[in-house]
């Protein structure tokens, strides 16, 4: 296994929900972490405070300059990706730009001497599956431009990583939740509004869903890197980053309502769905287990994760 202490890890998108939590976990494990942050970013204050965190100012357009400043690194985690809002998620122009800059990141990682490259894929790459089951070995048929771009980048990045002899993990994230997530997510909305006695508008919530606590998601990424030396260098792997806890969405919602002592009201069937509609998701996590030597196991139950969020909210939220 790879010893993480002393390793040099580069992260883009480190001010985002997943990026900053992953950065924090690598720092806790003793790594040197280099984060690329735009000078005008209002989110930089959310970065973990640590003596081994090094902020490199610049945008993705300046990734090669940033790489020269860093000098060398062991792993490159690319979590930056624009156009994830409803206005730009179906923009071919915006998504094409994401692909181009992401390929520049692969090149930069190779020049830095990285042995591992990871990027943030998405469950939407799978498209619509009638039974909701989503396995890494399935054929993908993404619906929106965002999903198509993520899949396109993966296919283009594979030979580039092979050229640089980098092990490549394309991480397909499902629904990661926790303190600091987008305020409009269903979990954030419920844990914020229900304790205040508000009514929350919801879909029918009869489709299957999957939630994973941010601590477990971050630890999965760290563990994949820890076990990366057991994988043939230069090979590529798609990895679902998801929980083994899949249920009907309504069951999750009702559990949150119970944990808030039944405060507020749940209004089912009034929320306007995105164009894809209410789709079931049921990810498999066999690849994650296999790539971590069959040692992988979640540590944070859904109940515990929600209790943590409710406690943080009651104390004034994430600072």
- Lateral strand order in the sheet of 32-37: 53-57, 32-37, 8-12, 75-78, 116-122, 167-173, 236-241
Distances (CA, A) of 240 to 1, 50, 169, 276, 283: 21, 30, 10, 21, 7
Examine the pLDDT at 88 and tell me if it is beyond 90.
no
Domains identified in the chain, total number: 1
Domain assignment present for 130: yes
Q: In this structure, what DSSP letter does residue 112 have?
A: H
Rounded average pLDDT over 170-191: 96
Q: Which pLDDT does position 273 carry in this prediction?
A: 62
Tell me: pLDDT of 131 over 90: no
Domain assignment of residue 250, yes or no: no
**Residue written as tokens 């998504």?**
95
How far apart CA 256 and CA 307 sit, in angstroms, is 9
What was the pLDDT predicted at 156? 98
Predicted confidence (pLDDT) at residue 109 exceeds the cutoff of 70: yes
pLDDT at 72 over 60: yes
pLDDT of amino acid 84: 80
Q: What average pLDDT score do residues 89-104 get?
A: 94
What are the tens digits of pLDDT across the range 185-209? 999 999 999 999 999 999 999 999 9
Assign 15 to helix, strand or coil.
coil
Tell me, yes or no, whether 307 lies in a domain: no
Q: Is 162 helix (H, G, I), strand (E, B) or coil?
A: helix
Out of 23-27, 130-134, 309-313, pick the least confident.
130-134
List, for residues 231-273, the tens digit of each pLDDT value.
999 999 999 999 999 999 999 999 999 999 999 999 999 887 6
Does 204 map to a domain? no
Give the chain's mean pLDDT. Answer: 94
* Predicted local confidence at residue 276, as pLDDT: 53
From CA 8, how far away is CA 2, in angstroms rounded?
12
Does some domain include residue 105? yes
Any domain includes 316? no
Inside any domain, residue 274: no
For 117, the token pair is 């490259």
CATH number at residue 105: 3.40.50.720
pLDDT for 180 equals 92
Instruction: Please state the pTM of the whole predicted model.
Output: 0.94
**Domain membership of residue 236 as a residue range:** 8-177+212-242+283-298
Does 318 reside within a domain?
no
Q: How far apart are CA 218 and CA 269, in angstroms?
A: 33
pLDDT of residue 239: 98
- Exposure class string for 82-115: b at 16+ Cβ within 10 A, else e: ebeeeeebbbeebbebbbebbebbbebbbebebb
């Amino acid at each position: 296994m790879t010893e993480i202490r002393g390793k040099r890890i580069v992260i883009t998108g480190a001010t985002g929900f997943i990026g900053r939590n992953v950065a924090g976990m690598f720092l806790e494990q003793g790594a040197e972490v280099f984060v690329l942050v735009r000078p005008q970013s209002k989110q930089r204050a959310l970065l973990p405070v640590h003596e081994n965190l090094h902020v490199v100012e610049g945008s993705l357009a300046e990734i090669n300059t940033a790489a020269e400043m860093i000098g060398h690194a062991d792993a490159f985690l690319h979590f930056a990706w624009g156009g994830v809002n409803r206005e730009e998620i179906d923009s071919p122009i915006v998504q094409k730009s994401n692909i181009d800059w992401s390929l520049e990141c692969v090149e930069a990682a190779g020049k830095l001497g990285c042995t591992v490259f990871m990027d943030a894929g998405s469950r939407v790459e799978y498209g619509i599956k009638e039974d909701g089951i989503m396995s890494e070995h399935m054929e993908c048929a993404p619906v929106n431009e965002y999903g198509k771009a993520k899949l396109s980048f993966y296919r283009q990045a594979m030979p580039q990583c092979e050229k640089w002899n980098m092990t490549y993990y394309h991480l397909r994230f499902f629904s990661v939740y926790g303190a600091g997530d987008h305020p409009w997510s269903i979990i954030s909305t419920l844990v914020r509004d229900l304790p205040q006695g508000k009514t929350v508008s919801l879909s029918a919530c009869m489709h299957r869903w999957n939630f994973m606590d941010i601590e477990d998601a971050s630890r999965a990424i760290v563990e994949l890197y820890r076990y990366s030396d057991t994988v043939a260098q230069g090979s590529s792997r798609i990895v679902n980053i998801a929980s083994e806890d899949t249920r009907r969405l309504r069951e999750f919602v009702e559990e949150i309502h119970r944990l808030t002592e039944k405060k507020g009201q749940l209004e089912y069937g009034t929320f306007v769905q995105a164009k894809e509609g209410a789709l079931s998701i049921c990810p498999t996590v066999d690849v994650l287990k296999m790539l971590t030597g069959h040692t992988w196991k979640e540590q944070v139950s859904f109940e515990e994760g929600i209790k943590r969020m409710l406690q943080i909210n009651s104390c004034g939220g994430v600072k």
